[in-house]
Amino acid sequence: MNMYQTYISLHIIFAGVWLSFFIIELVLRGRINKEISVNENVTNYLRFTNIFGISGSMGILLTGILLVMVNSGFGFFDMSNNHWLATKQIILIVILIITIAMLIPASRSISKELKVNSETLQKSNLKKIFKANTIINSLVLVNFLFAITRRFYS
């Protein structure tokens, strides 16, 4: 089997994982805001964010790198030929920076709070996570739209 086809299939699967994260994250966020057992819901939210966020983003990153290396028509950050791909790559770098700068520190802080005192939870860190995930999910949606509409402007 052609490795390019395998990589593109995996890339699409990981994109689906990341897009499903967008929908399910909104549902879990709503449960945190409404229900009484906030701390249990926050713990589930953080676990879900870790599993789907890491698997989706790293899967997209690795398969994307493999696709660029296998396809001679693609390149890294090359605006001259495939501007849609270079834009997607830049957006992915921005997503990774937001994840490292905002999401991971806030998640670690909340995890520590939950281990020490499960009755009180600082809402400011939770708001940071919600904000970071909203930005990341919006950028993922923009990247997805670039991918599915690239045939119209390539």
Q: For residue range 127-148, what is the model confidence (pLDDT) as tens digits?
A: 888 888 889 888 988 888 888 8
What residue type is 106 in one-letter code? A
pLDDT in tens, 92-139: 899 989 988 888 888 888 878 777 765 566 677 778 888 888 898 889
What ranges do the domains of the chain cover?
3-153
- Provide the whole-model pTM: 0.80
d(CA 106, CA 6): 36
